[in-house]
Amino acid sequence: MRKLRPNQQRSVGRDAHRALYAEYMASAAWWERRREWERTELASTGLPAVLCVACNMKWTLRDDLHHIDYDRLGDEAHDDLWPMHRPCHTKMHQLIESSKSWRRMSRRFANVQALPVLRREIAGLPADEIQTLTVTGLKEFL
Ligand SMILES: [Zn+2]
Ligand SMILES: [Zn+2]
């Protein structure tokens, strides 16, 4: 079903990996994976809506699913993906990139470490300021 498996081509360089990632993000397979992810999440939580892991506000399929690592890109486990609004998601990437020690850790562990810091940071921001955070300067994968 999922034809695009960037994971199988990890020997390719960083730019090629990035291109594969961009291609996957635009693919029908990724959009189907997102719908499947939402169904699984709603069924497992029993809540009427999915909530953003950072700000705890309602998330929808128009929002982002953050890869906490890229090891299973194209064949993600449910827990590899975190629901986030674009501004919250952008802040998460900026936060991880801002820390030398987090950049050195496994991506997955760095995410787990960074999430409570991000939550505190977002909780302290006025709502309109969160909405105006931009994606400019975001160099890493989403
Ligand atoms: Zn959010
Ligand atoms: Zn991300």
Give pLDDT tens digits for 75-114: 999 999 999 999 999 999 999 999 999 999 999 999 999 9
**Which amino acid appears at position 122 of this protein?**
I
Instruction: Looking at the CA of 58, name the nearest ligand.
Output: 1
Q: Specify if 5 maps to a domain.
A: no
Arithmetic mean of pLDDT over the chain: 85
Confidence of residue 24 (pLDDT cuts 50, 70, 90): very high
Residue 59 belongs to some domain of the structure: yes
Tally the domains of the chain: 1
Ligand nearest to the CA of 92: 2
pLDDT confidence of residue 16: 85
Q: Is residue 7 part of a domain?
A: no
Query: Does residue 140 form part of some domain?
Result: no
The C-alpha atoms of residue 134 and residue 88 are separated, in whole angstroms, by 10
pLDDT at 141: 47
Residues 6+ positions from 46 with CB-CB distance below 8 Å = none
Residues, CB within 5 angstroms of ligand 1 (ion): 52, 54-55, 85, 88
Structure confidence at residue 140 as a pLDDT band (50, 70, 90): very low
From ligand 1's centre to the CA of 99, what distance in Å? 21
pLDDT at 5 over 70: no
Burial class (CB in 10 A: 0-12, 13-18, 19+), 134: exposed
pLDDT, mean of residues 43-58: 96
What are the beta bridge partners of residue 66?
Answer: 82
Taking the C-alpha atoms of residue 52 and residue 58, their distance in angstroms, rounded to an integer, is 6
Domain span at residue 119 reads 12-131
Q: Is 5 helix (H, G, I), strand (E, B) or coil?
A: coil
Residue 125: its pLDDT value, please?
72
pLDDT band, very low/low/confident/very high, at 117 (cuts 50, 70, 90): very high
CA–centroid distance, residue 140 to ligand 2 (Å):
8
